[in-house]
């Protein structure tokens, strides 16, 4: 069955970005001049996804406003004769078919995904965590959807990580089956380096089969007393295979101030309108 829907998880509190996130969702933080959430929506659309479901929470209404039409702003730009910006603004409001659902309690990533169950409606789905920005020639999710179709099984994105970082990621036990593709023999959420089955850490892209929802509903709380999708996928391994794609390109963890700064600098340096001047500025600064 074709994957038509993507679930974008935008329900986290963003505590690592306090005080900024007191009144602003972290998903609305800019990466150069677009909010993080837009990169996630664009990756989904560029991968062939038709319908986007955003899981939000209290205090996240700026996300919904962002993808709405803004008649006042459009009128203002029209009066000014700024047709370029006007068409950009209309494009954003019309870019995707988006539905929203709220996670009412913060009980973990697995729980957040399960909140979208009704909207996903028994279909397979992609899941995107907008903190993980992946800059690659072909969208990471598109590569994963190709693997999903080939192997007819769920797919998660992974990346090689350092020894100390096993505590920050889900880690897989891999069996390589093709270039950059692994069968996942087991997976564990945020293990100590000594217990980690490899140094391949899970990154925020998943292609999930419909069965995940039944398993999520009975997955007990795990690491951090939260319902973990990693644990649900481990349980699901009893019924079906799971694959991992070692992502291409560069991934930025914009969930931390340092990662977010790096992503801003790297993406700005690549832009023709900003890169040259920024490069000169850094030369002076350093």
How many CA atoms does the CB half-sphere of 226 hold within 13 Å?
18
Candidate ranges 52-60, 83-91, 200-208, 239-247; the one touching ligand G1P (CB under 6 A): 200-208
Provide the 10 A C-beta neighbour count for residue 80.
Answer: 10
Nearer of residues 43 and 67 to ligand G1P, judged by Cβ = 43
Question: Contact between 170 and ligand G1P (CB under 6 A)?
Answer: yes
Q: How far is the CB of 205 from ligand G1P (least distance, A)?
A: 9
**Cα torsion 18, 24, 26, 31: sign:** negative
CB 125, min distance to ligand G1P, A = 16
Q: Does 189 bind ligand G1P (CB under 6 A)?
A: yes
Q: Does 228 bind ligand G1P (CB under 6 A)?
A: yes
Cα–Cα dist 278/184, whole Å: 42
212 lines the binding site for ligand G1P (CB under 6 A): no
Rule CB under 6 A: say whether 181 interacts with ligand G1P: no
CA 44/CA 28 separation, integer angstroms: 17
7's tokens = 């679930």
Q: By CB under 6 A, is residue 174 in contact with ligand G1P?
A: no
Inter-residue long-range contacts of 95-98, CB under 8 Å, 24+ positions, other chains counted: 95/41, 95/42, 95/45, 95/67, 96/41, 96/44, 96/45, 96/51, 96/52, 96/67, 97/50, 97/51, 97/52, 98/41, 98/51, 98/52, 98/53, 98/54, 98/67
Question: Contact region for ligand G1P (CB under 6 A) — 54-62, 139-147, 197-205, 266-274?
Answer: 197-205
202 contributes a contact to ligand G1P by CB under 6 A: yes
Residues 230, 111 contacting (CB under 8 angstroms): no
- Which residue lies nearer to ligand G1P by CB, 25 or 204? 204
Site string for ligand G1P, 23-62 (x = CB under 6 A): ----------------------------------------
Give the one residue of 203, 233, 236, 242 binding ligand G1P; rule: CB under 6 A: 203
Minimum CB distance to ligand G1P smaller for 15 or for 79: 15
Q: Write each residue from 116 to 155 as x if it is in contact with ligand G1P (CB under 6 A), else as -, in one continuous string.
A: -------------x--x-----------------------
The CA distance from 274 to 199, in Å, is 36
Q: Please give the size of the binding site for ligand G1P, defined by CB under 6 A.
A: 12
Residue 41 CB, nearest approach to ligand G1P (Å): 18
Residue 230: CB minimum distance to ligand G1P, A: 5
- Nearest residue (CB) to ligand G1P, 27 versus 132: 132
Give me the residues that bind ligand G1P (CB under 6 A), please: 109, 129, 132, 169-170, 189, 201-204, 228, 230
């Amino acid at each position: 069955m074709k994957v038509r829907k993507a679930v974008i998880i935008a329900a986290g509190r963003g505590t690592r970005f306090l005080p900024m996130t007191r009144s602003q969702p972290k998903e609305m933080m800019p990466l150069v001049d677009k909010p993080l959430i837009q990169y996630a929506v664009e990756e989904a659309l560029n991968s062939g996804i038709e319908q986007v479901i955003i899981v939000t929470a209290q205090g996240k209404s700026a996300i919904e406003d962002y993808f709405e039409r803004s008649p006042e702003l459009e009128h203002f730009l029209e009066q000014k004769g700024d047709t370029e910006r006007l068409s950009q603004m209309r494009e954003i409001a019309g870019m995707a078919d988006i539905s929203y659902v709220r996670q009412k309690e913060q009980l973990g990533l697995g729980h957040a995904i399960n909140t979208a169950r009704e909207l996903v409606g028994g279909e397979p789905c992609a899941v995107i965590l907008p903190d993980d920005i992946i800059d690659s020639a072909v969208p990471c999710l598109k590569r994963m959807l190709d693997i999903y179709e080939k192997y007819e099984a769920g797919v998660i994105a992974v990346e090689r990580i350092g020894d100390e970082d096993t505590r920050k990621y889900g880690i897989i036990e891999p069996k390589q089956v093709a270039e950059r593709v692994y069968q996942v023999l087991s997976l564990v959420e945020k293990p100590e380096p000594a217990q980690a089955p490899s140094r391949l850490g899970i990154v925020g892209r998943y292609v999930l089969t419909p069965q995940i929802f039944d398993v999520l509903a009975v997955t007990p709380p795990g690491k951090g007393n939260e319902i973990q999708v990693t644990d649900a996928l481990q349980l699901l391994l009893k019924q079906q295979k799971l694959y991992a794609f070692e992502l291409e390109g560069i991934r930025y963890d914009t969930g931390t101030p340092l990662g977010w700064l790096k992503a801003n600098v790297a993406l700005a340096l690549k832009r023709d309108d900003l890169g040259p001047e920024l490069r000169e500025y850094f030369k002076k600064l350093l």
